[in-house]
Amino acid sequence: MRSLCVCSTDKEYGNTINLETFRTSSDFLNLESISRSLICQEDSTIYCLLERAQYCYNAFIYEADAFAEDGLEGSLLEHVVKESEMFHAKLGRFESASELPFFPKELPDMFLPPNQYVIIDVNHKMWDAYFQNLLPNLVKEGSDGFYASSAVRDANCLLAISKRVHTGRFLAESKFTANTKDYTAAIKAQDKEALMNLLSYPEVEENVKERVLMKAKNMTEEAVYKIDPSLVREIYARWLIPLTKEVQVEYLLRRLS
């Protein structure tokens, strides 16, 4: 399992951010723009969850080496995600600072921009949370035979929530810029608790939870396949918001280095 990592020259993780561009771009660091992006991402995330909910759990697609005789390494789901990331990498998807691949080692160096690198990667935590906690509560048990369709929907969900969580790097830089003095003191002390207190806005977080709850209610009213809107709220409360904040803290701890 990959560890949480920040590096300046290592290409292992595949996603790149030009430090100068990242820290000076008004488009990247405008808090209002970031907030609008996150709100738009809510729609995409909920839609991906609705799409996956129409199929059963289909445990077969998560069995390791189920297709070993056909020369396919790993599970069907892993294969789908790897192939999807390979295709997207060719189109330049992971040149975007808000995108991180789940299988960066599978991406050739030729698809990685030759910039400086600053990487905060919690994809492994999202992967575990998705399959251990989120998915079992989202879908029906059993198998319906729609293995490929289920795997594709899983991949879409994973990419959507990964983008949301890693947008935390932009949030962190924006907040640092707006309150450099207090953040600098906490960073120099390497005080995670102080940083978490500085970047946390309970009222805003509660608004996000209530907004996605209402969006889920509205979207499920028109959907053929239903999900419990409270589950969407729980997903944000238990995983997406906390992991986004973790990304912010880990970014800030290295902000002055």
Question: How much is the pLDDT for 21?
Answer: 46
Nearest to 41 by CA among 169, 134, 161: 161
Ranking 66-75, 98-107, 215-224, 236-245 by mean pLDDT, the lowest is 66-75
Question: How much is the pLDDT for 119?
Answer: 73
Q: Report how far residue 244's alpha carbon sits from residue 45's, in angstroms, rounded to the nearest whole number.
A: 15
Tokens of 62: 């998560």
Ranges of each domain in the chain: 19-253
Q: Report how far residue 43's alpha carbon sits from residue 213's, in angstroms, rounded to the nearest whole number.
A: 11
Average the pLDDT over 128-140 and give the result: 96
Report whether 77 contacts 154 (CB < 8 A): yes
Average the pLDDT over 65-79 and give the result: 83
Q: Report how far residue 167's alpha carbon sits from residue 170's, in angstroms, rounded to the nearest whole number.
A: 6
Question: How much is the pLDDT for 88?
Answer: 87
Question: How much is the pLDDT for 197?
Answer: 98
Termini Cα distance of the chain: 26
Which residue bears the tokens 């990331």?
85
Average the pLDDT over 220-230 and give the result: 85
Single-letter code of the amino acid located at 22: F
Q: Report how far residue 124's alpha carbon sits from residue 195's, in angstroms, rounded to the nearest whole number.
A: 23
C-alpha atoms less than 13 angstroms from C-alpha of 110 in its C-beta half-sphere: 3
CA angle, corner 159, sides to 58 and 128, nearest 5? 60
DSSP, collapsed to helix, strand or coil, labels residue 15 as: coil
Model confidence band, residue 12 (pLDDT cutoffs 50, 70, 90): very low
Sequence-separated (6 or more) residues with CB below 8 Å from residue 34: 28, 167, 170, 171, 174
Average the pLDDT over 74-78 and give the result: 93
Question: How much is the pLDDT for 107?
Answer: 83
Sequence-separated (6 or more) residues with CB below 8 Å from residue 130: 154, 157, 158, 161
Single-letter code of the amino acid located at 64: A
Query: Mean pLDDT, the chain, as a whole number?
Result: 85
The percentage of residues in the chain with a pLDDT greater than 70, rounded to a whole number, is: 85
Question: How much is the pLDDT for 171?
Answer: 93
CA angle, corner 28, sides to 39 and 109, nearest 5? 105
Q: Report how far residue 122's alpha carbon sits from residue 156's, in angstroms, rounded to the nearest whole number.
A: 17
The CATH number of 19-253, from 1.10.260.40, 1.10.1370.30, 1.10.590.10, 2.40.50.180, is 1.10.590.10
pLDDT digits (tens, 9 = 90+) for 23-38: 545 555 788 889 999 9
pLDDT digits (tens, 9 = 90+) for 88-130: 888 888 877 778 899 988 887 666 555 444 578 999 999 999 9
Question: How much is the pLDDT for 68?
Answer: 76
Ranking 97-101, 190-194, 248-252 by mean pLDDT, the lowest is 97-101
Residue 193 class from Cβ within 10 Å (0-12 exposed, 13-18 middle, 19+ buried)?
Answer: exposed
Single-letter code of the amino acid located at 129: A
Average the pLDDT over 178-203 and give the result: 97
